[in-house]
Copies of this chain bind each other. A is one copy, B any other.
Amino acid sequence: MGRDATIIDIAHRAGVSTATVSRVLNRTGKVREETREKVEAAARELDYQPNIVAKNLSTVRSNVIGVLVPDVRNPFYANIFVECEKYANEKGFSLLLYNFLESESLERHCYDMLMARRVCAVIHIGGSVERIEASPGFVEKIGEISERVPVVTSSFVEGTGSRCVEIDSGRGMKLLLDYLLGLGHERIALVGGREDDKPTAKKRKCYQEALRQNGIRYGNYYTAGSGTYNEQGGYLAMREILQKDKLPTAVIAVSDLVAVGVIRAIQEKGLEIGKDISVASFDNTYIAEIMEPELTSVGNDYGVLGRRIIDTVFDMMDGKTCQDFGEIPVRLKIRESCS
């Protein structure tokens, strides 16, 4: 099994210089038609596969983008990843994925790995970038890195060169509330999410404002939901709520996964979803579709989110003075869990 063919081999075979080969292969610079053909033929005959490692070293610019997410097993992040991947691959970029699994130290370590690999950009969704109180050292780190390569995050990280692509969760909450209010609900609970998380904070703020504007005050159904975003968190939070004497008629979960737990708690109590208590949530992942009853959920189009993220990365790489994108629009998908 001989070593891979290199441009030197091609150059020899075609009787030209490596420079010419490079020019042909990359369609950069002028070459005579005849020469081009000779080179291309040689490349084909040798079954040439470019060595991107060498290319990257030479150009000091790799074409892999590092992607940091809490956990791809969560469909929300998987959706984002896949959509980003589609557009990135189209442009010849690959994605190096790291799951930091809720571990802050791992999250930090991932950054080191990304830098060591000289990724040409990093996309950081969730985790530290969404903390209201950034953990010490984190902002410095991201600031430092964003000086070297484009960094795109899911929330604004002040004092760094990073850009963010945010989902319009404020509007999402408004859509949800309008819908529920329109349905006649007045006792609406909000469940899940951690206290110090920006998207959650935004949702809560909108929630409180909207209720106030409608002259409703049921803040007592507003709960931290054990600070998590998973089923467990939703379940525990809902159990707590179900102990109160005056139950809500509707509950909004900060994510589909949380809603799953909420639903479980409600059903366990012998109540019926969409009848005794309506449930709606954020994200609109496939989880919402497979539940029974199907979940009414508000979410963004992951295709446009992915494209925006990648476009932002490219704009930054091109040195364009791009500002943060406006928030990604969301829409309400009405299914069966509310009435």
Contact in complex: B49, A112 (CB < 8 Å):
yes
Q: Which of A96-124 contact B (CB under 8 A)?
A: 96-99, 101, 112-113, 115-118
Q: How far is the CA of A81 from the CA of B56 in the complex (A)?
A: 26
A197 at the interface (CB under 8 A from B): no
Contact with B along A71-98 (1 / 0, CB 8 A): 1110100110110010001000011111
Does A17 have its Cβ within 8 Å of any Cβ on chain B? no
Assuming the contacts A49-B112, A72-B78, A117-B52, asked whether A64 and B96 have C-beta atoms less than 8 A apart, the reply is yes
The reply to whether the CB of A290 lies closer than 8 angstroms to some CB of chain B is: yes
User: Of A244-252, A259-267, A305-313, A323-331, which stretch is located at the interface?
Assistant: A259-267
Q: Which of B56, B71, B115 contacts A49 (CB 8 A)?
A: B115
Nearest Cβ in chain B — how far from A255, in angstroms?
A: 13
Copies in the complex: 2
Q: Across the interface, do A118 and B260 meet the contact criterion of CB distance under 8 Å?
A: no
A94 touches B94 (CB 8 A): no
Closest to A106 in B: B89
Contact B73 A94 (CB under 8 A): no
Kindly list chain B residues whose C-beta atoms are within 8 Å of the C-beta of A148. 1, 4
With an 8 A cutoff between CB atoms, is A183 at the interface?
no
Contact between chains at A72 and B81 (CB < 8 Å): yes
Tell me the chain A residues, 276-315 only, with Cβ under 8 Å from chain B.
Answer: 286-287, 289-292
Q: Given A73-B79, A73-B286, A82-B72, answer yes or no on A53-B57 (Cβ-Cβ < 8 Å).
A: yes
Chain B residues lying within 8 Å of A162, measured Cβ to Cβ, are: none
A62 within 8 A of B: yes
A196 contacts the other chain (CB 8 A): no
Q: What's the minimum C-beta distance from A126 to chain B, rounded to whole angstroms? A: 15
Which of B89, B99, B231, B289 is in CB contact (< 8 Å) with A290?
Answer: B231
State whether B64 touches A147 (Cβ < 8 A).
no
Contact B99 A97 (CB under 8 A): no
Extra pairs beyond A89-B98, A291-B292 (20, CB < 8 Å) = A49-B112, A49-B116, A52-B117, A52-B118, A53-B56, A53-B117, A53-B118, A64-B96, A72-B72, A73-B82, A78-B78, A81-B97, A82-B101, A94-B98, A96-B96, A96-B97, A231-B290, A260-B290, A290-B291, A292-B292
**Which 4 interchain pairs have the tightest Cβ spacing?**
A73-B78, A260-B290, A1-B147, A52-B116
CB within 8 Å of B: which residues of A? 1, 4, 49-54, 56-57, 62, 64, 71-73, 75, 78-79, 81-82, 85, 89, 94-99, 101, 112-113, 115-118, 147-148, 231, 260, 263-264, 267, 286-287, 289-292
